[in-house]
Amino acid sequence: MNGVSQGTEQVAGQGVLVWVGRKAIDAYSYVADLGALVYVALRELARPSPQGRGEAFRVISRQILFTGVDALPVVSAIALMLGLIIITQAGTQLPKVGAGDLVGNIIVVVVIRELGPLLTAFIVVGRSGTAITTELGNMRVGQEVTALELIGISVTRFIVMPRLVGMILSMICLTLYFDTVAVLGGFVVAKVKLTVPFAAFAHAVTQSLSLTDVIVTAAKGMLFGTAVAAICCHHGLSVQSSYTEVPQQTTKAMINSVTICLLLDILVTGTAYF
């Protein structure tokens, strides 16, 4: 009996190992596919050929308009609310434990370094990332992508590269905008509750904020933009022949985008601040 149960445990153990191994290989090939997509898109950006440049620029402009400019109201609202919450909590709770001097630090660490880039990424995933996957998925099913290839138009140059560039530029700007609105707007909104004057507040924040913080925040915006655009284009172009695949791929794109943004955030924070 003992031998049988040991054998069963061994088989179960091997099954888990096989499962973990398969998942690791899947994850590796997924990341490799994304890397290849980013590489060919950036290579296309650097290619000197003037062919399709005007059209690609038009698509980049539209992507920036949709992802960046059109997102300003929702980004402003969320940044204001986050700023209000964090600044109110920090400004009212920290002085009670004699740590009022740390208000600036808390704001820089929580809002500028971490929540600003992450929340901006989540907003962009929800607004633009899902839109990209849905649009490209529908284009695949409607054979629009095949039609583009058949008229000699490079899908990478006309579809992927402009979305990647538009998303990266928008994400960097939106992240910096989010941080600014969250800190300044949040302070204005919370001023009624705070006893700290604006000059002291601004001094505390600028004292705690370094150039590294700004660079790391912008770098996060760039990395998150690259990841979200690559993931959403990859899933959109993975749709084969049925419209039911479109929402399935959109869901996968959204979950994977959020997960990879969090992993990248850990990686960047670990590299820059540990």
| Residues of this chain that bind another protein (CB under 8 A) | 50-55, 135, 138-139, 142-144, 146-154, 158
Nearest alpha-carbon partner for 81 in 2, 181, 12, 149: 181
Question: Between residues 81 and 148, which has the closer beta carbon with respect to another protein?
Answer: 148
Angle at 154 between CA 152 and CA 155, to 5 degrees: 125
Q: How far is the CB of 251 from another protein (least distance, A)?
A: 22
Question: Between residues 54 and 270, which has the closer beta carbon with respect to another protein?
Answer: 54
Q: How far is the CB of 238 from another protein (least distance, A)?
A: 18
Question: Between residues 101 and 149, which has the closer beta carbon with respect to another protein?
Answer: 149
Question: Between residues 143 and 259, which has the closer beta carbon with respect to another protein?
Answer: 143
